[in-house]
Structure 1
Amino acid sequence: MSGKVKVERRRARRPGRISTKHQVTIPVAQLEEAGLAPGDEVEFVVTSPGRIEIRRPRSRFESVIGTVPHLEDYVDIDELRNEWER
């Protein structure tokens, strides 16, 4: 025997509890599966009664894309400089 122990990680669906301080502990396996780590910023979105989704907040830049005309267009800086020099 090699002495190694195989740890099987299952999708834990164990019930949690909301503390008196409104805190909830999320199982490590689920945090790892979601790609989240201690210190990460998250936002909470109520998707329906009794259901809250935890997700990474979008950056301010990502939230602006699509609202400003031509923001996604390619811009050639050298071409713009040449136009100004003419």
Structure 2
Amino acid sequence: MTLHILKLCVGCESVEDLADWQAERARLLPGHLPRHVTRMWPKQAEAVLDGGSLYWVIKGSVQVRQRILRLDPVEGEDGITRCALVLDP
């Protein structure tokens, strides 16, 4: 069963803002794919990877859908491992 994730896109005023922000950050990453780092690993990771998407809420409504390609472990500067949702551009 597919599981999707809903996230508030804090600081973005429009879909274009999100696209610009992701493109700028993705240029610095291997593979140049956008990602969103979360504190927690999804409890149902297999369901998320079975066709799941990240839905972005901008200005109070769901405005963007991005397919989740994979989940990568990322270690923060504080030494804590987090989850990077690697997204379809």
- Asked if Structure 1 and Structure 2 have the same fold, meaning a TM-score greater than 0.5 normalized by the shorter chain, the answer is no
Name whichever structure is richer in strand by fraction: 2
- The normalised TM-score by structure 1 is 0.24
- The normalised TM-score by structure 2 is 0.24
> Quick check: which has more Rg, 1 or 2?
1
